[in-house]
């Protein structure tokens, strides 16, 4: 064989090898990427070729599947009381994707989750029968929150302090996921462009200044640090109080409230800004941040299992701004979930059980794949004595303070109101907050709640945590405690 022929043969062999490598790459790497591409229509055709699994509330499916009348997608997603449960389920759309539980458990609900496959299915790559997602939601508490919020823009969360089960997640205004389960561009654009943002889950994914509800965290830090020994010890709180580095007085809502050197109990009862602004400065931002982070602030991995947006306690402040954080202003932000966690930990003797809104997942035959109720974690946030002190002070708020609208016959209720400033120089309508817990006097039932009303038809002078948010919390707590 002469040199020219040998070189040609070697070159041809290299070309064949290159083609084999490329073909293998396309088949096993690019092929998977193309198959998984969201724009691949065959994925949607396969996903909606059969009914999906369901999301369950109290034993009943709140989702379903219905046959379509035309097109290449055989089934579409349907929802029972879609607007009521939208903040829980999210949506599963043939066009717009999936969110919330629908998105997190998409593989389980459409039968592609490897947990559902038996050895033969795994070998043949056959799609298994879909599984179900069983939630912790209590329909009575969910309905109570939704109805009580009414036409207001806001959100509410309820948690069982002993188990961490989330009993309600409500965001208003809401939307019906059924309307966007198929291609409906007019409805989608209307929802997307709506200034009230109905697609935003305000309960989990919109942190806002928590106002005076954050004073519970400040009080916990003061008691744990030893700055004050109990909630009935007089504080060192001048009135008026001017934070260091500024000439601007930190005002109180009520000019007649007994806030000068008030105890923590009285300061919570009347929501004295001078007490908690001074307390924040005395503690310092580092100690306050440490306590806030124990409750869950600054946690970027807060999954319930939906990823909640991070509630924030800031850093790098001067003393004047630190004073503002003591009353839940400046750059302090919190979700209703976060403030419900604060009340839950206090109600549970200082221990926070990890909140979750999925109880278990199961296969088509009802066999449990994962039990989330048995996999909760518990961490001590504050000493049990501190928790008892704060419970007592929160009860005073409801019995004879700013939270009287949350009183429930036959139950012990503790709470804290908040009215957070909104806009430059408080030019916009404030946010109304209320966080609380309730324990039945006749059973072992208890619940922790947080409610935020972002906007309402009430006159600005009538916007308060007690006036707008406390009645919502009361309705939720009554629903949770009833036999």
Contact 347, 437 (CB under 8 A): yes
- Tell me the residue length of the chain: 483
- What value does the CA radius of gyration of the chain take, rounded to a whole number of Å? 27
Beta bridge partners, 158, equal 168, 449
Q: What is the DSSP letter of 369?
A: E
Maximum Cα interatomic distance, the chain, rounded to a whole number of Å: 109
DSSP string covering 414-455? EEEEEEEEESGGG-EEEEEEEEEEEEESSSS-EEEEEEEEEE
The secondary element (H helix, E strand) that includes residue 460 is none
Q: Which two tokens stand for residue 263?
A: 């105890």
First to last CA, the chain: 96
Residue 63 near residue 137 (C-beta atoms within 8 A): no
* 395 closest CA partner among 439, 340, 339, 442: 439
CA angle 319, 415, 400 (to 5 degrees): 100
Cβ–Cβ < 8 Å for 73, 65: no
- Tokens 């999210």 found at: 90
Q: Is 212 assigned a catalytic role? A: yes
Angle ∠(399,401,406) on CA atoms, nearest 5 = 55
- CA angle 54-55-56, nearest 5°? 110
The answer to whether 349 and 378 have CB atoms below 8 angstroms apart is no
- Of 92, 171, 212, 237, which one is the catalytic site residue? 212
Structural contact between residues 369 and 435, judged by C-beta atoms closer than 8 angstroms: no
User: How far apart are alpha carbons 100 and 83 in whole angstroms?
Assistant: 14
Q: H or E element: which one contains 144? A: helix 139-149
Contacts with 267 (C-beta within 8 Å, 6 or more apart), sequence order: 215, 219, 235, 237, 259, 275, 276
Helix (H) or strand (E) holding 134: strand 132-135
Could you list the active site residues?
A: 212
């Amino acid at each position: 064989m002469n040199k020219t022929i040998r070189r040609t043969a070697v070159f041809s062999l290299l070309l064949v090898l290159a083609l084999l490598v490329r073909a293998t790459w396309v088949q096993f790497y690019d092929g998977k990427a193309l198959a998984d591409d969201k724009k691949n229509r065959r994925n949607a055709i396969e996903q909606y070729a059969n009914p999906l699994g369901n999301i369950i509330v109290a034993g009943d499916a709140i989702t379903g599947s219905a046959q379509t009348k035309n097109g290449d997608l055989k089934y579409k997603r349907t929802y029972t009381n879609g607007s009521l449960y939208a903040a829980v389920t999210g949506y599963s759309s043939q066009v717009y994707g999936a969110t919330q539980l629908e998105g997190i458990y998409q593989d389980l609900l459409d039968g592609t989750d490897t947990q559902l496959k038996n050895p033969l299915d795994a070998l043949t790559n056959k799609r298994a029968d879909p599984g179900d997602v069983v939630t912790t939601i209590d329909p009575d508490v969910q309905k109570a929150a939704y109805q009580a919020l009414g036409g207001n823009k806001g959100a509410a969360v309820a948690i069982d302090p002993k188990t961490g089960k989330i009993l309600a997640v409500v965001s208003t205004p809401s939307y019906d996921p059924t309307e966007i389960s198929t291609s409906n561009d007019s409805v989608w654009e209307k929802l997307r462009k709506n200034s009230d943002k109905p697609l935003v889950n305000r309960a989990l994914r919109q942190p806002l200044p928590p106002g005076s509800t954050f004073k519970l965290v400040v009080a916990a830090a003061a008691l744990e640090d030893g700055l004050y020994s109990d909630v009935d010890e007089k504080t060192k709180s001048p009135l008026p109080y001017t934070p260091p580095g500024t000439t601007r007085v930190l005002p109180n809502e009520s000019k007649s409230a007994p806030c000068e050197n008030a105890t923590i109990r009285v300061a919570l009862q009347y929501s004295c800004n001078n007490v908690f602004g001074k307390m924040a400065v005395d503690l310092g931002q580092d100690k306050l941040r440490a306590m806030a982070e124990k409750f869950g602030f600054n946690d970027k991995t807060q999954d319930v299992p939906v990823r909640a947006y991070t509630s924030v306690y800031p850093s790098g402040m001067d003393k004047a701004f630190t004073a503002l954080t003591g009353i839940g202003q400046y750059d302090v932000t919190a979700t209703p979930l976060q403030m419900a966690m604060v009340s839950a930990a206090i109600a549970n003797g200082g221990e926070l059980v990890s909140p979750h809104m999925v109880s278990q997942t199961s296969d088509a035959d009802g066999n449990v794949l994962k039990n989330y109720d048995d996999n909760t974690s518990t961490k001590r946030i504050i000493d049990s004595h501190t928790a008892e002190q704060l419970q007592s002070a929160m009860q005073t708020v409801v019995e004879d303070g700013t939270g009287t609208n949350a009183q429930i016959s036959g139950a012990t209720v503790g709470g804290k109101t908040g009215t957070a400033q909104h806009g430059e120089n408080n030019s916009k309508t404030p946010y109304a907050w209320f966080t609380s817990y309730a324990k039945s006097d006749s059973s072992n039932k208890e619940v922790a709640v947080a409610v935020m009303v972002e906007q309402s038809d009430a006159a600005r002078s009538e916007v308060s945590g007690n006036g707008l948010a406390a009645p919502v919390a009361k309705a939720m707590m009554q629903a949770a405690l009833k036999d």
